[in-house]
Amino acid sequence: MLNVFLVVGARPNFMKMAPLYFALEKAGVFNPVIVHTGQHYDYEMSLAFFEDLELPEPHYFLGAGSGTHAEQTARIMIEFEKVLLQQKADLVIVFGDVNSTLACSITARKLLVPVAHVEAGLRSFDETMPEEINRKLTDGIANILFTPSPDGDKNLMNEGVDHGRIHRVGNIMIDALMTILETIDASYEKTLLQKLNLKKSNYVLVTLHRPSNVDDRDTLAKILDYLEALSKKTSVVFPMHPRTKRNMEKSGMNVGRAAGLRIIEPLRYKEFITLEKNAMFVLTDSGGIQEETTYLGLACLTLRPNTERPITVTEGTNELVDLSNIEQESEWSQSGNWKKGKIPELWDGKTAERIARKIIEFCEGSRSGQRRAGDA
Ligand code: UD1
């Protein structure tokens, strides 16, 4: 059996890991080991996702917690190194672009453990985003690069990456999305919408947590003003990320005067997808939500100057907006004339299976390489 370590740390990692964990388990030749770095630690940001995704508890929990980028990254590296020195790993798999992704890639490669990166090749070309640094450095050292879309392959090739390391396998987020959608029935939907006093297709779902939107007081205040104005016309539900909440509290901001604006705690995966699929449109700065809405054919307004997921704009239902055109775009999205979009190639729920097959090929290849080296 091959010991394959799946590393996760922050909320968007969990749904990317789950389909692969199950595909590896099913393949019968792997011992999949889950390592949770503890970058996210609140129940609703972390373990609630394990429950909804029916994952077992993590085999290792590193308890890294919050801090500055250097503090968080360093703590994860120190703790992950201890794990790798204690239990032999044949491969480490990292996901996405969070600090845990980079920290564990560096740690594994320095201990000569090969690394596979799921969601490789995405680029916003904006190095003010910490995720862009994490993406570039992880792709720079990972042995196997699993890309979700052709733009990922192109970005890697433009950076001079050897073709042999790149494997286009599709979007693993969509595997998880398709699985959870099957568990959401009409009565679950009705109960949740009733609980939140929302009507199907009659509310806007908002998520905002990027430092560029929520760390600067004036920017955050302008966004909240816009949401208050919007909520006078239609219901707005905003499951608030702890980073956004903390920044609002720090600067003494208070919203909620407008009756239609509902700021609620972060939702678990199944609840969030239910709200998303029934929304009129979504306003976000998340990466994964741009992809989910493209799959669902739902209008998505992304409050960012760029995206590392351009296919959601060129093929999907996503548009980038800023504070100067957000009102106009949100009216357009309610007009029924929003672009229809299509589901990109290989976003079909079979990405985890394709990755598992490639990993088997990779492990067989490196074993026969080792045997040949031993024979020589
Ligand atoms: C991280 C990722 C980001 C991802 C986001 C999803 C990096 C650089 N950023 O950003 O790419 O889109 O996760 O959520 O890795 N906090 C809690 N409870 C928690 C986690 C965080 O209260 O469970 C608070 C802490 O005050 C912390 C702050 O949120 O300081 C930010 O958390 P952090 O993990 O540093 O970054 P995110 O903004 O969550």
| pLDDT tens digit sequence for 99-158 | 999 999 999 999 999 999 999 999 999 999 999 999 999 999 999 999 999 999 999 999
The pLDDT of residue 188 is above 60? yes
CA distance 132 to 178: 28
pLDDT band at 251; cut points 50, 70, 90: confident
For a pocket test of ligand 1, which of 243, 247, 265 has the largest count of ligand atoms closer than 8 A to its C-beta?
A: 243
Helix (H, G, I), strand (E, B) or coil at 97: coil
Task: Evaluate if residue 163 carries a pLDDT over 60.
Answer: yes
How many angstroms does the Cα of residue 224 sit away from the middle of ligand 1? 20
Stretch 193-206: mean pLDDT, rounded? 96
Split at pLDDT 50, 70, 90, the class of 370 is confident
| Average pLDDT, integer, range 158-169 | 97
For residues 133 and 116, what is the distance between their CA atoms, to the nearest angstrom? 17
Q: Is the CB of 82 under 6 A from ligand 1?
A: no
40 catalytic, yes or no? no
List the alpha helices (DSSP H) in the chain: 11-27, 47-52, 69-86, 99-110, 130-141, 150-158, 172-183, 186-195, 211-214, 217-233, 242-250, 269-277, 288-296, 311-314, 326-334, 351-375
Q: List the catalytic residue out of 40, 117, 167, 209.
A: 209
The H or E element spanning position 235 is: strand 235-239
The single-letter code of the amino acid at 33 is V
Q: What domains, with CATH codes, occur in the chain? A: 2-170+347-375 (3.40.50.2000), 185-334 (3.40.50.2000)
41 lines ligand 1 (CB under 6 A): yes
Both structure tokens of 64:
């890294």
Residue 361: closest CA among 123, 160, 184, 114: 114
- pLDDT, greater one: 66 or 251: 66
Whether 375 has a pLDDT exceeding 90, the answer reads no
Q: Give the model's pLDDT for residue 357.
A: 97
- Mean pLDDT value of segment 265-293: 97
* Residue nearest (by alpha carbon) to ligand 1 atom 16: 242
Confidence of residue 258 (pLDDT cuts 50, 70, 90): low
To test ligand 1's pocket by mutation, which of 7, 66, 173 has the most ligand atoms within 8 angstroms of CB?
A: 66
Residue 32, exposed/middle/buried by CB under 10 A (0-12, 13-18, 19+)?
A: buried
Q: What is the CA radius of gyration of the chain?
A: 21
pLDDT reading at 376 higher than 70: no
Gap from CA of 102 to ligand 1 centroid (Å): 15
Per-residue confidence band for 256, with pLDDT thresholds at 50, 70 and 90? low
User: What is the structure's pLDDT at 306?
Assistant: 98
pLDDT for residue 371: 67
